[in-house]
Chains A and B, each alone.
Chain A
């Protein structure tokens, strides 16, 4: 199969047809459809889909519509401004996607967050996880033509946005962690808000389940569609809930526990089937796991500062200026030269940040590997051999988020 390209150079009338029969596998009669970048679902990527009748013979993805050069931009700015830059890869999952960067920077700067900050980070990370799963499920609803699921998902997400705004000061892009701690402490009324939020979520998820997951149409659309077995999953390097849906028991939070994940008790959700339904169920059950982690964190939340003592000593004005006063200290501490690697489990899978520091405040290079990019290959493989009508279901069952993949 030749690489399918945008067929601009073909004469009018034959634009979307594959020209030579040899290009096709399958029955030999094929049609190349161009799906995207504007399509009724979500996502800004293009797929060249070769169909034979109704069956998808081949899919060539064309990502890069949201490539904004995060890695290149990171070379030109001081390390403390990388947090908002990296976070834009996946804005509703902001806490989790910045996690590896923060962990790597902490290694480079030799900082260690106090216990309270560790717990607060886990709190926000898990709330973020629930929120992102809700986002993906809501969009899965849209892809299946189930608009009510979209409304319910976003109504629930909106409460998360409000609580984020309360705790961190922004609805979506929270940039909550900083090297050596977190940006803001939580107050008793924030804790109350989180508790209420969990209670409402648990109550509403029951109805959401009746409405969306228990709906026979949803199940019929997702079951047995887009199967990727465990072996193939491992070969293609799939990460996160999508690998766990194929029976691969891997979660960075369990394998290399960072921050307070060692202290909390949770189960890694695994399903066996590897189809779109299993991927949906894994994410559904993970929401409950995340909520239980949040409850444990709230129970065990230690008292104390939220910023490393080493930073506090450098700014004696801290008590007067609050945490904001400490942040200026970054301008006169420098990362140790060397390479630093950190992995964290973002909602859609393991995220990796590799920093090369040279002793300057600008890092020499930042490598940023995001989960959606790793799952793209499997998504394309899962579509092949299925029906064209199942393509949207497979697409969104992978929770593919183009800004995250393209960086």
Chain B
């Protein structure tokens, strides 16, 4: 009986998380332009339950918008650590994967060296559709997670 109740509660919690992925406003580089399009009226990410949030204390998905420079990496980590659990990371752009056009630059790190990443989006910059697809992938991960 107890397990049944806890299972039901966790399913409800996962369902709730899945449709309320709120990113904090952290722009790390130029992919932010396409993220703007993503929340604009043409792509309207809000239909997937995404609402850009000013405060990181009320958010649970971090969209890494492109390059993370060494200077920014520290703050990306702070911001990630301040976000409440459960939290997810989508790394966007060729820069966040391995460097893109800036491969070999002295001042940047791939996103995976800074944070655990749940989904990558390729492109420079990725189209908003691609980002939305990554978000739906994260939603699937949430829905199929154990407990």
Instruction: Spell out A's residues near B (CB within 8 Å).
Output: 37-44, 64-70, 72-73, 76, 84-85, 88, 90-92, 135, 138-139, 150-155, 157-158, 161, 171-173, 403
Partner of A73, one of B71, B72, B105, B127: B105
Given contacts A85-B101, A138-B36, contact A43 B27 (CB under 8 A): yes
Can you give 9 A-B contacts (C-beta < 8 A)? A38-B56, A66-B30, A90-B30, A138-B36, A153-B40, A154-B39, A157-B40, A158-B42, A172-B34
Instruction: Point out the residues of chain A lying under 8 angstroms from B54, CB to CB.
Output: 39-40
Instruction: Point out the residues of chain B lying under 8 angstroms from A70, CB to CB.
Output: 102
Instruction: Spell out B's residues near A (CB within 8 Å).
Output: 24-30, 32-34, 36-37, 39-43, 54-56, 67, 69, 71-72, 75, 79, 101-102, 104-108, 124-125, 127
Q: Judging by beta carbons under 8 Å apart, are B29 and A403 in contact?
A: yes
Q: Give B55's nearest chain A residue, CB to CB.
A: A40
Q: Judging by beta carbons under 8 Å apart, are A66 and B41 in contact?
A: no
Extra 15 A-B pairs, beta carbons < 8 Å, given A37-B75, A40-B54? A37-B26, A38-B79, A39-B25, A64-B69, A64-B71, A66-B29, A72-B106, A139-B36, A154-B41, A154-B42, A155-B40, A158-B40, A171-B34, A171-B125, A172-B33
**Chain B contact residues, majority secondary structure:** loop
Q: Judging by beta carbons under 8 Å apart, are A44 and B36 in contact?
A: no
> Complex Cα distance A37/B79, Å?
10
Q: Judging by beta carbons under 8 Å apart, are A66 and B67 in contact?
A: yes
> Complex Cα distance A157/B41, Å?
10
Q: Judging by beta carbons under 8 Å apart, are B107 and A91 in contact?
A: no
Q: Judging by beta carbons under 8 Å apart, are B36 and A135 in contact?
A: yes
> Complex Cα distance A73/B90, Å?
27
Q: Judging by beta carbons under 8 Å apart, are B72 and A37 in contact?
A: yes
Instruction: Point out the residues of chain A lying under 8 angstroms from B34, CB to CB.
Output: 171-172
Greatest chain A CB density within 10 A among B75, B101, B102 is at B101
Partner of A68, one of B42, B55, B107: B107
Q: Judging by beta carbons under 8 Å apart, are B37 and A154 in contact?
A: yes
Q: Give A64's nearest chain B residue, CB to CB.
A: B71
Q: Judging by beta carbons under 8 Å apart, are B37 and A157 in contact?
A: yes
For the complex formed, measure the closest distance between the CB of A184 and the CB atoms of chain B, giving whole angstroms.
Answer: 19
Instruction: Point out the residues of chain A lying under 8 angstroms from B39, CB to CB.
Output: 154
For the complex formed, measure the closest distance between the CB of A2 and the CB atoms of chain B, giving whole angstroms.
Answer: 21
Which 3 pairs from chain A and chain B are nearest by CB? A154-B40, A40-B54, A158-B42
